[in-house]
Structure 1
């Protein structure tokens, strides 16, 4: 029975005549095996024909849609010294609530009445500006008065010049008449002498003619002096006109110089007022910066500076705050080779850390513990980790995300692509081919609209 010998018992006896032999050698085991193998391969063939959803898996973190809703750090805009804390970690604060108070550490801001004193300086400088404006107006009036006075003086001098010229004309006529009278007296005197020599005139007549001649000559000399005096007065009148012009030009120049000086000083005073007003605004704003307030409603996560009396620099971080109102999102990172397969508006499944889930990436309808999301942002520039950042938000038509999720927790995302048979997916995975490139219906329509 052990088939050790070459002599077989089955050749000597017919074992099938016995019940045990018939029972053992009559069973056909290969028929059952064939049925099992056929059934197994049939099931495998059916499974290979089942649909499979191609997907892109990625890890990410929970964040917010809007940048102002993300955790942020408050900094001190001025250097100072911590004087008092008004909150502790974990407290809820509203917008405008005071978080801490600091004091000045720079000597130029130690004066508690700095803003009041600067305001007084502004008032004084403003009065100075008004005074210079009044001085400018007075100098302008003075300049206008000088112009009118010059016009009157010139008119007076011109009138006097005309009078002098008329007087010169009159004196010249009188001088010519005196010359004629002198010539006549001289002729009569000479004729009387001739007649006296002939005995026709007496000596007394000669003496009378001589006396008239002397009077005529004296009058001629007097009129000559008067004529020269009139000419001098005319010359003096012309010189007076030139003197008036020169004098008033000097006065105009001095008045205009004073006017420009007053205007320049007034402008400088206005500049100083503007500087003081800017300083006052800066001092007032700086005083408000001594109290660090909450920029929005939120929770105090962590105090980055501790204690009282500790000094801090400008721009140094003080406390971390998390906004109370925010819209959750998940940022995922995909490989550059998978980026062309993603489009805005496509559906994504998200699994959050700490939430039990059973995931079938190829059969999303069978998965449990995942939540729906929609792609809203695809960055155009690669991140430092060598991948592209994609932002997804909750799907409004799917189950709401858990309320207990916190910003910063981990998440695993699955981007659903095209439906293919399982055999094709196995063949693609074995050959390391990428998923099928496709365009969703909405994206193709929008691209056509853009082209149109």
Structure 2
């Protein structure tokens, strides 16, 4: 419009009245939609540059960190028959409480006075051992006395033999001297006989010399007899010496044989005594094992045997107990390809079954209903399904886990890794690249160390 006339024409009025002009313009609703689309595009474009924390996802359940805190089955140590139950399922028990009592099913343990009878047998065996020991001591004394007597008798016989030898020497000397006297008497007799025949001496002198010769002959014979007697005495002394050795050797051998028999019996008796004592101790332990007791404080989860009168074998489980106040942990299973990215001390966000949660895996700060944890254990071998198990413990520096958590509850967890832009994460997922690997911060490692120290202090 040139605006030459003072009468202005309202263009908006013309557009309202002329329908063709209205169809040529852009609809109002289209402009609004375009504005919204542009805004949404700009919003999502800006979101591509927001930080996104990479993570490894795993599924598992709540467990106990220490093996002693995990549910355990209580077996019956001995075979028997259930006589009485003292607990019910869900009941709290303390260490040493009786769970049930069983009776014997083996005939060798039916005797109610078996311990007393075994004690009597042990007492009798001890008395027999004491008597045998006394007999051995007496035999040892007898052997010692025989050995001393042998020494005395041998010395006595040796002295007697020596005396006989001395006597033989003396008698031999007298015999030799008498032989000389005999020679002298014979020469004198021969000389006297010659002189008598020559009538140089009288008959009386000759008879004296003859009598002297006869007397000397008689003495020589007597000394010869003494020498023979002395020799016989030496032989008898030697025989007596050998006889003493033989007699005492026989008596000592008999005493030693009796001692050996007694020692052998003593060894057998001591072996039987050890067996009886072992059996007595085993019976005492078996009597105690008739009562199945709780090994630690906890709760009876389930009775694995029912009723009264049911028979049990050795090692049959009778009940399951959950220890009280276990140190809880989470057992997560992750893929094998994600294991190299995991390290002890990494932060984990956990979502427990039964607790409402809104989880943004890449933005843990805006997640609601999740709980923190730290990686404590990474298995060195995989499980049956090819996944690897990790144990996650509570992070004491942050929010505590719910007290109502029960072992076995389902859990989904996210192990936090490196921060990257959203566009990079989308690009990585589309290309199938692994997450960016970054070691856990020093603070995370310190928190794990502090947690372990806290657990040690709590145990002390």
Relative distance call for 1:37 and 1:301 in structure 2 (3 A) is closer
Structure 1 pair 126/17, CA: closer, same or farther in 2 (3 Å)? closer
Aligned twin of 1:12: none
Partners of 1:43 and 1:227 in 2: CA distance: 152
Aligned to 2:168: 168
Deviations 1:340-364 (A, max 9, x none): 1111111111111111111100000
Q: Which residue of the partner structure matches residue 6 of structure 1?
A: none
| CA 1:80–1:444: 2 relative to 1, 3 Å | closer
Which whole-Å CA distance do the structure 1 matches of 2:353 and 2:26 have between them?
A: 57
Q: Secondary structure at the match of 1:377?
A: strand
Measure, in 2, the Cα distance between the counterparts of 1:443 and 1:273.
Answer: 66
- Cα distance change of structure 1 residues 124 and 361 upon mapping to structure 2, 3 Å threshold: same
The aligned counterpart of 2:154 is 154
TM superposition shift of 1:256:
2.6
Deviation at 1:35, TM superposition (A): 5.3
* Secondary structure in 2 matching 1:101: strand
8 Å Cα contact 1:160/1:237 also seen in 2: yes
Q: In the alignment, what sits opposite 1:271?
A: 271
Correspondence 1:238 to 2:243: no
Structure 1 partner of 2:337: 337
In structure 1, the partner of 2:49 is 49
SS in 1 for 2:141: helix
Mapped contact 2:16–2:22 kept (Cα < 8 A): no
Q: Contact conserved, 2:103 with 2:290, CA < 8 A, in 1?
A: yes
Q: SS at the partner of 2:381?
A: coil
Equivalent residues in 2 for 1:97-246 (5 A)?
A: 97-246=97-246
Structure 2 residue 45 is the aligned partner of structure 1 residue 25: no
Compute the displacement of 1:39 (Å): 3.5
Rate the CA distance shift 1:74–1:16 in 2: closer, same or farther, 3 A: closer
Instruction: Indicate if the aligned counterparts of 2:76 and 2:318 stay in contact, CA closer than 8 A.
Output: yes
Alpha-carbon offset, residue 441 of structure 1: 4.0
Instruction: Flag the 1:208–1:259 CA change in 2: closer, same or farther, 3 A.
Output: same
- The more displaced of 350-359 and 152-161 is 152-161
CA 1:89–1:38: 2 relative to 1, 3 Å:
closer
Aligned to 1:406: 406
SS at match of 1:305: coil
Bigger shift: residues 137-146 or 435-444: 435-444
- Using structure 1 for the length normalisation, give the TM-score: 0.90
Partner of 1:432: 432
Mapped contact 1:16–1:25 kept (Cα < 8 A)? no
Greater CA deviation, 246-255 or 381-390? 246-255
Partner of 1:4: none
Distance 2:264 2:438 in 1: 75
Q: CA RMSD in A?
A: 2.3
Q: 1:110/1:445 Cα in 2 relative to 1: closer, same or farther (>3 Å)?
A: closer
CA–CA distance in 1 between the matches of 2:23 and 2:79? 100
The 8 Å contact of residues 347 and 444 in structure 2, kept in 1 or not, is answered as no
Greater mean alpha carbon deviation, residues 255-264 or residues 222-231: 255-264
Counterpart for residue 251 of structure 1? 251
**Unmatched 5+ stretches in structure 2:** 1-13, 447-460
CA distance in 1, matches of 2:443, 2:210: 140
Q: Secondary structure of the equivalent of 1:142?
A: helix
Whole-angstrom CA distance in 2 between matches of 1:439 and 1:350 = 20
Residue 6 of structure 2: aligned partner: none
Are 1:382 and 2:370 an aligned pair?
no
Post-superposition shift, 1:327?
Answer: 1.6
Q: Which residue of 1 aligns with 2:298?
A: 298
Following the alignment from structure 1 to structure 2, what is the Cα–Cα distance between the partners of residues 210 and 28?
Answer: 200
1:53 to 1:147, Cα distance in 2 relative to 1, 3 A: same
SS of match in other structure, 1:145? helix
Over 3 Å counting, the alpha-carbon distance change for 1:318 and 1:34 in structure 2 is: closer
Partner residue, 1:449: none
